[in-house]
Amino acid sequence: MIEPKRPANQAVKLDTNYQPRIFDKNISFVPRQISPKQSEALRIIARQVAAQQELRRGLNRLTRAPQSHPRGEEQQERFFTLSEERLRLLESIVINANDAIVITEAEPLEEPLGPRIVYVNQTFTQMTGYQPEEVIGKTPRLLQGPKTERSQLDKIRQALSRWEPVRVELINYRKDGSDFWVELNILPLADSTGWFTHLLAVQRDITERKAAEYELKSHARASAVVAQLGQGALSGTNLDTLMQEAVKLVAQTLEVPYCQVLELMPGGNALFMRAGVGWQEGLVGSAIIGAHDRSQAGYTLLTGKPVIVEDLRIETRFSGTPLLHNHRAIAGMSVIIHSQGNPFGVLSVH
C-alpha cells in the first residue's frame, strides 16, 4: 500500500462536499442539480474507500494483540462485520452506477507511469470495452490517444498535485480504437489521518451532448452566413463578388479547406468553377469539370439530392475528378444550387 506524502504546510482533509454531476440520459444535454440520493451515494463511495485503509490497520493491530485480552476477539469480529457491511454497500452503489467509476492509487502522478487502477465497475466495461482484468494494475492513460487534449491532461495533473478535485472534458479511446467524449470528475480520497491514498474518477459519456453543441454552433454560424449574404444581395453586390464571398464564409463555417461553386454550362455537359476558395491559383474562373455521373458534381445533379463522401478512395458511386485527386481531397459534400426551378450548378465542400 502506498502512502502518498501530504503537501507541505497544507491541511489535507477529504472534501466530502465535492459532488460530481450525474448525467441524466432521459434529459439529454440539460444540466441539472444532482439529487440528494446521488449526492449521498458519491459521498459514501469517497468515505468508504478511504475507510477500508483504517479498517485494515485496526484489524492488523487486533491480530497482533495478546491472546489474554478479554475483548480482543469480540472487537476483531466487530471490525470484520463492519468491514463486510461497508464493502457490500460500496459494491452495490458502484456496480449499479450509470457512470463509469475508476479507482486508482494516489501516486505516482508523473508521466509516463501514472497511478495504477485498482477497481473499475461494469459501466466502465460497457463504455470502453475493456474487461477489469485487462486494466487492473495499469494506468488510466491507456484510454488516451491522438485527440486527447494535452491542456486538459495538464489541468488534471496540476489539480491532483495539490490534492484538489478536478473536472475536465476530453476525448478518450475505447479498446477497439474508437474515440468518444467524456466528462471526467476526479476526487482525491484521504483516510482519517489526512493521507491521500486513492483517486476516485467518475467518467460520463458526453459524445451526444458534444454533437448537439457542435450542431447548434454550426446552425448559428450558418444563420450568420445567410444573413451576411442577404445583406450583400440587398446592397447590390455583383453576382461574382457575392459568390466568392459565399464560398469563403461556407468554408469558414464548416471548417473545411476547399469550397467551390460550379456553374452548369449551356448544354448541361460541363460545370465551370465560378467561385472557389483553397484551390490552386488560376483554377477559379477557368476550371471545367464534366457533368457526367462519374464525377461527384455530376452525380449530385443526376440524383437531385445532397451527396456525402466519407472516403473518395473507396467510393463506388463515382470516381474522383483530377481536381480533387490533385488536391488530395478525400471527404466532401455537394448540393444543388437552384435558380428559378432549374439547377444553376453545384456547391461543394471538401
DSSP state of 99: S
pTM over 0.75: no
Report the first-to-last Cα separation within the chain, whole angstroms.
55
What cell was used for 162?
495539490
Domain 36-205: assigned CATH number: 3.30.450.20
Q: Residue 97: what pLDDT?
A: 74
H or E, element range at 331: none
Domain 238-349: assigned CATH number: 3.30.450.40
Q: Do domains 36-205 and 238-349 have the same CATH topology?
A: yes
What cell was used for 307?
451527396
Distance CA 312, CA 94 (A): 46
Enumerate the domain spans of the chain. Answer: 36-205, 238-349
Distance CA 142, CA 313 (A): 31
Q: Residue 87: what pLDDT?
A: 60
Q: Residue 347: what pLDDT?
A: 87
Q: Residue 223: what pLDDT?
A: 59
List own/partner pairs for 319-328 with CB under 8 A and 24 or more apart. 319/294, 319/295, 320/295, 320/296, 321/289, 321/290, 321/295, 321/296, 321/297, 323/279, 323/283, 323/287, 323/289, 324/296, 324/350, 326/280, 327/258, 327/278, 327/279, 327/280
Kindly write down the DSSP assignment for every residue of 242-290, as one continuous string. HHHHHHHHHHHHHT-S-EEEEEEPTTSSEEEEEEEESSPTT-TTT-EEE
**Dihedral pair phi/psi, residue 58, rounded to 5°:** -65, -40
Profile the chain (350 residues) by mean pLDDT over runs of 10 residues.
44 41 39 42 46 51 48 50 59 74 84 82 92 92 92 92 92 94 91 84 91 73 58 60 84 85 90 93 91 89 88 87 88 83 85
